[in-house]
Amino acid sequence: MPQATFYFPTGFLWGTATASHQVEGGNTNNNWSAWEEQPGRIHAGERSGLACDWWGGRWREDLDRAAEAGQNAHRMSLEWSRIQPAPDRWDEAALDHYRTIVRGMVERGMTPLITLHHFTDPLWLTEQGGWESEKTPDLFAAYVRRAVEALQEYASLWVTINEPNVYTYSGFISGEFPPGKHDMGLGFRVMANLVRGHARAYAAIHALQRHARAGIALHYRGFVPARRWLPLDGLVAGVQHRLFNQVFPRALTDGTLDFITSRVRVPEAAHTQDFLGVNYFTRDHVAFAPLLPLQAFGRNFFPADADLSGTGYLANDPEGMFEALRWAHGYGLPLVVTENGVEDANDGMRPRYLAQHVHQVWRAVNFNWQIKGYFHWSLVDNFEWERGWSQRFGLWELDVETQARRKRPSADLYAAICRENGLSSAMVTRYAPEVYSNLFPG
C-alpha cells in the first residue's frame, strides 16, 4: 500500500469554529432566545439553555482541549446583545469577559478569528426592524467599533458577518430562522442592508487597526443539475448558484448586488474584503420545479446513493469542497475554510468526512491557491438553531444535562492532522480505512 503525507504550507491555521449563541448559554436578549420561546419553531421544543456553558467559564476547558489537540487557531463569535444590551447602553463587563476569552486563546498559542455577527440580533434591534431597516448598517458599525476597540490588542482577523446568505434565505425565504418570513423582495432588501453593514464595519475595523484582515464567511453550496440532459435543471441550478453563492462576494468586489432581474448599487462596498471565508458542508442536486418560486423553481435533494449524515441533513460530498475553493479562488483573494463538518452523533462518518475534505483542501493548496487555514465545525456539540440538539457536530460529544464532554475518535484524527500539518496514509489507515484507496490510489 502506498505511504504518503499530504503536507500543508508552514503557518497554515488549523482550528475549530464556534458561535456565541450556540455555545455560550444564558443568552436571553436576542432574537433567537425569543424564537426559542415560540411553539413549533425548534425541533422538539428544545432550547439553547446553558448551551456549552462558555459564558459560565467552560470556554477554558474547551480551549484547553483544542490547544492540547494541536489546534493553532480558533474561530469564535461575539454576541452583540451582550455588548450592547440596549440602544443606549454598552456593557463593559461583557467586553472584559470577551477580552479574557480572546486573551485566553492567545495564551494557549491559538490565533483568534473573531466573527462579529453570527445569526443573532439584539432584541431591541429586532423591535426596530432588524436588517430590514436602513438604520441597521450604521448601528452595526457602531457596535463593531466598540468590539474591535476592546479586542484589537489580541485579534486582527475579523469576520464581519457569518453566512449573510443563510441569514437571509432562512429568515426571509424559507422562514426557518427568525423572523420566519417568506418574501423574496424583502430578502433582497435585507441582503442590500447586510452589504451596507459589512462595508461600514470593514471601514470601522480598518480605521482602528491598519493591519487588520477582514472579510465575510460565506456559506458556499454546490448546486448540481439533477438531469444533465435537461436544460431547465441547469438553468435553475445556475439561478440558485447566482442568488445564493454569488451576490455577496460580488457586491463586496464591485459594489453591485446582482439579483438577476434587478440590481442594487452599494458603491462603498467595493473592495471591502481582505480574504474570503468559505463555509462548505455539502452539495445539492437540483431539478426544475414549477411550483416552487421561492426556491427559484428548483427542488433540491441528495441523490439516492449519497453518503448521508445521521439525520440525513448533509451528504458527504468532498468534491464539492474542491469546487467551492476553485470558485472562491476566482475572487483573487486569500481564502480561509471558515467552517466544514458533519452532524454525526456516533462518529461513524466523521473520520472519513474529515479526511476526504482535508484531502480536497490539500488538492486546492497544490494549485497554489492562497488557502490560509481550515476551521472544523465544531469543537463540542452545540445548539444547532432550529434543529435544536438533534444534530451533533462536535469533535467532542456534549451531555447537555451534565455538561460532561467525551472525546470522539475524530478528535484524535484531527489532532494528528493539526500536529503533522498534514494528512498521512497512516492516519487514514487508522481512522478511515474505508477511504484509503480513494485517497491513496495504488
Q: Which residues bind ligand BGC (CB under 6 A)?
A: 19, 22, 162-163, 166, 219, 279, 339, 377, 384, 393
Nearest distance in Å: CB 385, ligand BGC:
6
| CA nearest to 295, candidates 246, 249, 239 | 239
Nearer to ligand BGC, 136 or 391 (CB): 391
Cβ neighbours for 257, distance < 8 A, ≥ 6 positions apart: 188, 191, 192, 195, 247, 250, 251, 263, 264, 265, 266
Vertex 61, ends 57 and 66: CA angle to 5°?
130
The C-alpha cell at 145 is: 467599533
Collapsing DSSP to helix, strand or coil, 352 comes out as helix
Nearest distance in Å: CB 170, ligand BGC:
9
Element (H, E) at 13: strand 13-17
Nearer to ligand BGC, 209 or 309 (CB): 309
Nearest distance in Å: CB 379, ligand BGC:
12
Nearer to ligand BGC, 214 or 380 (CB): 380
Nearest distance in Å: CB 338, ligand BGC:
8
Residue count (the chain) = 442
Nearest distance in Å: CB 394, ligand BGC:
11
The C-alpha cell at 208 is: 482602528
Nearest distance in Å: CB 166, ligand BGC:
5
Nearer to ligand BGC, 116 or 266 (CB): 116
| CA nearest to 266, candidates 256, 274, 275 | 256
| CA nearest to 385, candidates 397, 377, 376 | 377
- Is the bond leading into 179 cis (omega within 30 degrees of zero)? yes
Span between the terminal Cα atoms of the chain, in Å? 6
Nearer to ligand BGC, 131 or 288 (CB): 131
Nearest distance in Å: CB 11, ligand BGC:
25
Asked if 379 and 16 touch (Cβ cutoff 8 Å), the reply is yes
